[in-house]
Amino acid sequence: MSLLPHLQCRPEQIAERVILCGDPARVDRIASQLEGSELLGQNREFRLINGLYQGLSVTVCSTGIGGASAIIALEELVQAGARALVRVGSAGALQHEIALGDLVVVEGAVRHDGGSLSYLPPEYPACADLRLQLSLLERIVASGHPHWHGLVRSHDSFYRDDEQAVCRYWHERGVLGADMETASLLTVGRLRKVRVAAVLCNVVAFEQDVQQGVSDYAKSEAAMMAGERLAIAAALHALTR
């Protein structure tokens, strides 16, 4: 059978349960929590592996930065048979109380991305699958790790001239954090009738300069990894419940 056009692997290699992440390097860190992981392929930003968790097959796929490439991955994964997908990603906080390394389980997303808007009007909500949300929370609550549950905002650029004002606007409306992929995945996943959820690790403090925040993230990688490891474990728990 022909290869999936962008993912460059065979459709029959894709499991029904999928973890999505932005960074291709994170794929290998997720693989460390799986048994018998096997590289399926890598093309551009898309790196894929298969492995087993509690005897069940799981595919892990990176999507790169932004909603457009995330949708490409989602569409091809769903065409190949994926039915439940959890994004394990990072976010910047929009509330002062959210510390570096805290986890955010997404309830829904503000759709400020171009990817989802190319499919559906802004009135269509970006909502995470309820069962996956509850399973993510179950695992994270049991760990005692600091966490939040609510809304995020997905957007297409860090470097708008009015970025601080935009962040302050959504801060005042109770949005927890910002990323670049979640709204696209939730919206198109719902359209395609598959279950999608997201758990995000906070890597930038609210009202901290973005470039400084990214620099601090690099310096604090060990601390961030604890949150990421738990996010991965929670995603695997949710997908295999």
Q: What is the pLDDT of residue 212?
A: 63
Reported confidence tier of residue 144, pLDDT bands at 50, 70, 90: very high
Q: What is the pLDDT of residue 54?
A: 97
Q: What is the pLDDT of residue 235?
A: 98
CA distance 21 to 26: 7
Q: What is the pLDDT of residue 201?
A: 97
Share of the chain above pLDDT 90, in %: 90
Average pLDDT of the residues of the chain? 94
- pLDDT (average), residues 15-35: 97
Q: What is the pLDDT of residue 158?
A: 86
CA dihedral (195, 156, 219, 177) in degrees, to 10, reads -60
Q: What is the pLDDT of residue 217?
A: 57
Hey, how many other C-beta atoms are within 10 angstroms of the C-beta on 43? 14
Reported confidence tier of residue 218, pLDDT bands at 50, 70, 90: low
- The answer on pLDDT for 238 being more than 80 is yes
Cα separations in angstroms, 29 against 16, 34, 125: 20, 10, 32
The answer to whether the CB of 224 falls within 8 A of the CB of 102 is no
Residue-wise pLDDT tens digits, 173-193? 999 999 999 999 999 999 999
- Tokens representing 147 are 């966490």
Least confident of 74-83, 101-110, 219-228: 219-228
Q: What is the pLDDT of residue 213?
A: 58
CA distance 126 to 185: 8
Angle, CA 194 vertex, CA 93 and CA 179 arms, to 5°: 15
pTM, two decimal places: 0.94
Which of 58 and 216 is assigned the larger pLDDT? 58
- pLDDT (average), residues 128-139: 98
Q: What is the pLDDT of residue 221?
A: 75
Q: How many helices (H) and strands (E) does the chain have?
A: 8, 10
Q: What is the pLDDT of residue 224?
A: 80
- pLDDT (average), residues 135-151: 97
State the burial class of residue 193 (Cβ atoms within 10 Å of its Cβ: 0-12, 13-18, 19+).
exposed
- pLDDT (average), residues 194-213: 85
- Tokens representing 145 are 């790790």
- pLDDT (average), residues 117-144: 98
Q: Which residue type does 41 have?
A: G
- Tokens representing 231 are 């996010």
CB proximity list for 208: less than 8 A, separation 6 or greater: 216
- The answer on pLDDT for 210 being more than 70 is no
CA distance 180 to 154: 5
- The answer on pLDDT for 167 being more than 80 is yes
